[in-house]
Amino acid sequence: MLQKSDSRRHLPICILLLMVWTWAAIAPLSRQDWLLENLLVFAIAAVLLGTYPRFRFSTPSYWLFAVFLTLHLYGSHYTYSETPFGYWLQEVTGASRNHFDRIVHFAFGLLLVYPLRELLERLARPSGGWLELCALTWVMALSSLYEQIEMLTAMIVAPELGAAYLGTQGDPWDAQKDAGLAILGALIALAIIRLAKARRA
More confident position, 201 or 107: 107
| CA–CA separation, 10 and 103 (whole Å) | 26
Number of domains in the chain: 1
The whole-model pTM stands at 0.87
pLDDT band (50, 70, 90) for residue 30: confident
pLDDT band (50, 70, 90) for residue 1: very low
For 100-136, the pLDDT digits (tens) are: 999 999 999 999 999 999 999 999 888 778 999 999 9
Q: Give the mean model confidence (pLDDT) for residues 52-68.
A: 94
More confident position, 159 or 93: 93
Cα dist from 189 to 20, 79, 110, 145, 184, whole Å: 25, 27, 5, 21, 9
Query: What is the extent of the structural domain holding 10?
Result: 4-200
Rg of the chain over CA atoms, in angstroms?
A: 18
| CA–CA separation, 112 and 186 (whole Å) | 8
Residue 144, judged by CB atoms within 10 A of its CB (0-12, 13-18, 19+), counts as: middle
More confident position, 38 or 113: 113
Q: Look at residue 150 in the predicted model and tell me its pLDDT.
A: 73
pLDDT band (50, 70, 90) for residue 157: low
Q: What is the overall mean pLDDT for the chain?
A: 87
For 70-110, the pLDDT digits (tens) are: 999 999 999 888 999 999 999 999 988 888 999 999 999 99
Secondary structure class of 36 (helix, strand, coil) = helix
Percent of the chain with pLDDT over 70: 87
For the chain, what's the residue count? 201
Q: Look at residue 170 in the predicted model and tell me its pLDDT.
A: 60
163: phi then psi, degrees, rounded to nearest 5: -65, -25
Q: Give the mean model confidence (pLDDT) for residues 157-176.
A: 62
Alpha helices in 98-173 (DSSP H): 100-123, 130-156, 163-166
Amino acid at 46: A
